[in-house]
Amino acid sequence: MMRQAGRFLPEYRALREKHDFLAVSRTPELTAEVTLQPVRKLGVDAAILFADIMTPVVGLGLPLEFAPGPVIETPVRTDADLDALTPFSAEESVPFVMEGIRLIRAELPESVPLIGFAGGPWTVAAYLTEGRSSPSFAQLRRMLYEAPATLTRLLDILTEMTCAYVEAQVDAGAQAVQLFESWAGLLDAPRYQAVALPGVRKILKHVRGLGVPAIFYVGGGSHLYEAIADCGADVVSVDWRTPIREARARLGSGFAMQGNLDPAVLLGDRETIAREAKRVLRDAGPEPGHVFNLGHGILPSTPWENAKFLVETVHELSERGA
Ligand code: CP3
């Protein structure tokens, strides 16, 4: 359960009253603490590093704030903006991420893997060009048509940054890497394939070369499954808009699937949660693997008891082979 994985927990809120988001993500002890909170409280099977897809961009020389989403004071839109970026070095720019990973690994039980992550270049570019969250990301989409060469240059820089960033995470102890393409759905299939996918393929190949599984999350991408069939991931993580069975059939063989419960189900009662969890498990079937997850980040208003109930229910149903 990603992104707001901690935010619905009372422990996380208490800690956030004392420290802002950036302080938590830049202080390895606090990073480790909030990464471990959902593992202890909910009994999930894996931990997800506490960081953000925008965390590494400070290494390009871009000041970053959260309010509560990412804010870049100096958006990147022109070739001159690209010329001004500084070369990225994970250990020099964001050493606290790797230090956090080392602390987490030291504290996590052997049986609980730690998932590192990064944003897809297209998704990170959406925030970098707009400067903040947006329903339309008009700046990025303007570049697509008005300044395609500049956009390609930006995506190449982000691809290179991300390869170095995920490599540093794996070297520090991350045991799988998830690439979040939350804004895949801004593009139609031919443009996704031509513009965004090359960088994704490079990063996922790099991750697999490091000897850990690569998970590719495609947000709003129900129209893209055929287009991403050669993405090179081990696992494709899908939102809740398409049944896993359909996503799997359209992707072709060779992928495990991750997902795809609608996060809003967790705002319902227990009967509903159990019914919907069962539906997802049945739909996913036994072959060739399924990592149960939400189709997107957990909603901050989710009662934590419901999240715990979901974890217990999925464990119970999986053990029974239901
Ligand atoms: O679940 C976790 O806690 C793991 C860490 C994590 C965060 N961000 C911490 C965070 C992960 C995996 C992310 C990924 C992320 N960040 C994505 C990709 C996944 C997705 O959800 O699509 C994206 C698009 C972002 C960008 C981002 N960061 C936004 C839009 C926001 C605003 C959040 C909101 O919904 O209001 C953030 C802030 C953020 N990142 C929070 C957390 C825990 C909330 C900050 C807070 O504590 O106030």
Number of the ligand 1 atom closest to the C-alpha atom of 16: 47
Q: Measured in angstroms, how far is the CA atom of residue 288 from the centroid of ligand 1?
A: 29
Task: State how far the Cα of 322 lies from the Cα of 308, in Å rounded to an integer.
Answer: 19
Question: Residue 285 has what pLDDT?
Answer: 84
- Report residue 187 CA to chain centroid gap: 18
Atom 34 (ligand 1) nearest CA: 69
The residues, ordered by sequence, that sit 6+ positions from 125 with a Cβ below 8 Å of its Cβ are 140, 151, 154, 155, 158
Say if ligand 1 is within 6 A of residue 155 CB.
no
231 φψ region: left (φ > 0), alpha (ψ -120 to 50), beta (else): alpha
Report d(CA 60, CA 56) in Å as an integer.
8
Distance 7 CA to ligand 1 centre (A): 9
Cβ proximity of 34 and 6 under 8 Å: yes
pLDDT in tens, the chain (322 residues): 877 767 899 999 999 999 999 999 999 999 999 999 999 999 999 999 999 999 999 999 999 999 989 999 999 999 999 999 999 999 999 999 999 999 999 999 999 999 999 999 999 999 999 999 999 999 999 999 999 999 999 999 999 999 999 999 999 999 999 999 999 999 999 999 999 999 999 999 999 999 999 999 999 999 999 999 999 999 999 999 999 999 999 999 889 999 999 999 999 999 999 999 999 999 998 776 999 999 999 999 999 999 999 999 999 998 876 5
Atom of ligand 1 nearest to the CA of 133: 30
So which residues are the catalytic ones?
3, 7, 16, 52, 127
How far is the C-alpha of 232 from the C-alpha of 80, rounded, in Å? 33
69 lines ligand 1 (CB under 6 A): yes
DSSP letter at 195 equals I
Angle in degrees, 0-180, between the axes of helices 304-320 and 270-284, rounded to the nearest 10: 40
Ligand 1 neighbourhood includes 128 CB (under 6 angstroms): no
Residue 322 has what pLDDT?
Answer: 56
Instruction: Scan for tokens 């809003």, then name that residue.
Output: 264
Structure tokens at 279: 């539906």
151 vs 199: CA distance, rounded Å: 12
Distance (Å) from CA 6 to ligand 1 centroid: 10
Where b means 16+ CB within 10 Å and e means fewer, 290-312 reads bbbbbbbbbbeebebebbebbbe
End-to-end CA distance of the chain: 22
Q: How many residues are given for the chain?
A: 322
For residue 31 and ligand 1, the question of a CB distance below 6 A is answered with: no
- 15: CB partners within 8 A, 6+ apart: 24, 30, 33, 34
CB contact at 8 A, 63 and 34: no
Q: How far is CA 211 from the centre of its chain?
A: 19
Please give the distance, rounded to the nearest whole angstrom, from the Cα atom of residue 4 to the centre of ligand 1: 6
Instruction: Name the E strands within the chain.
Output: 47-48, 64-66, 70-72, 114-119, 176-181, 214-218, 235-238, 256-261, 290-294
How many angstroms does the Cα of residue 144 sit away from the middle of ligand 1? 25
CA angle 158, 135, 2 (to 5 degrees): 60
* Nearest-CA residue for atom 18 of ligand 1: 180
Which amino acid, 85?
L
> How many CA atoms lie less than 13 Å away from 91 in the CB half-sphere?
5
CA distance 207 to 174: 11
pLDDT of residue 288: 66
